[in-house]
């Protein structure tokens, strides 16, 4: 199973999510890559699409290795086991945290005009294009709960089994958990970066529901 692109993955995922009937749903994509996946899911549920902005915290010398994540609303997750193994404390990550907080604020302003999310009474369906270590998903789940969501679901097209096991939420929908998981991008034929303009266009099209 290789997805043609993020939209194709979203269409396949939407068919599975639509088998369930969440109460008062709201689909929240993790930008940027999660937005093209989430748009068909929101359409299948007949609900609004928005974003929950999360930023991965990578190692100072290896940015692609996620050892934590921050989310809007102040939620944060750090992989304490990895930090202990590397003999790193939070202070060593402060330059990365500061940079990622600035980018998080920029994206909230760009995608939602800086407006805060209102999740009270909603079943939130978090959608991303894939899950590797799971730190961004864990931060997103924590953020959604802190922002008042009644229930939090996670829907991803592909995930590493170990990373997915670390995410605790009300429901997980993931059709593909390959053994020997590599990088998320290897499960897509087209995994080109998603520009801000595409995120904004998809959100404008989906929000008035």
Taking the C-alpha atoms of 151, 157, 163 and 169 in order, what is their torsion angle to the nearest 10 degrees? 10
Greatest pairwise CA separation for the chain in angstroms: 49
Structure confidence at residue 208 (pLDDT)? 52
Span 28-52, average pLDDT: 96
Residue 209 has pLDDT above 50, yes or no: no
Span 54-71, average pLDDT: 87
Residue 56 has pLDDT above 50, yes or no: yes
Q: Which two tokens stand for residue 191?
A: 């995994």
Q: Which two tokens stand for residue 11?
A: 């269409």
80 in Cβ contact with 172 (< 8 Å) = no
CA-derived radius of gyration, the chain: 16
Proportion of the chain above pLDDT 90, given as a percent: 77
CA–CA gap between residue 37 and residue 45 (Å, rounded): 13
CA–CA gap between residue 125 and residue 171 (Å, rounded): 9
Which residue do the tokens 């202990």 mark? 84
- The DSSP letter of residue 180 is T
Q: Which two tokens stand for residue 187?
A: 């499960």
Instruction: Assess if CATH 3.40.50.2020 describes domain 6-206.
Output: yes
Banded model confidence at residue 207, pLDDT cuts 50, 70, 90: low
Residue 111 has pLDDT above 70, yes or no: yes
Listed by start position, the domains of the chain span: 6-206
Span 2-20, average pLDDT: 96
Residue 24 has pLDDT above 60, yes or no: yes
């Amino acid at each position: 199973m290789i997805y043609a692109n993020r939209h194709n993955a979203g269409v396949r995922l939407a068919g599975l999510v639509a088998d369930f009937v969440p109460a008062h749903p709201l689909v929240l994509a993790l930008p940027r890559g999660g937005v093209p996946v989430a748009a068909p899911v929101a359409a299948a549920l007949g609900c609004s699409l928005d974003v929950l902005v999360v930023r991965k915290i990578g190692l100072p010398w290896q940015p692609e290795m996620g050892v934590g994540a921050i989310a809007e609303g102040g939620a944060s997750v750090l992989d304490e086991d990895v930090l202990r193994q590397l003999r790193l404390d939070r202070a060593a990550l402060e330059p990365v945290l500061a940079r990622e907080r600035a980018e998080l604020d920029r994206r909230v302003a760009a995608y939602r005009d800086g407006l805060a999310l209102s999740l009270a009474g909603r079943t939130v369906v978090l959608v991303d294009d894939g899950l590797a270590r799971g730190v961004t998903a864990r931060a997103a789940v924590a953020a959604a709960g802190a922002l008042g969501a009644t229930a939090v679901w996670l829907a991803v097209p592909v995930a590493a089994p170990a990373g997915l096991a670390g995410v605790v939420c009300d429901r997980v929908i993931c059709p593909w958990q390959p053994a020997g998981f590599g990088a998320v991008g290897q499960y897509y034929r087209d995994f080109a970066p998603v520009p801000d303009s595409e995120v904004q266009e998809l959100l404008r099209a989906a929000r008035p529901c």
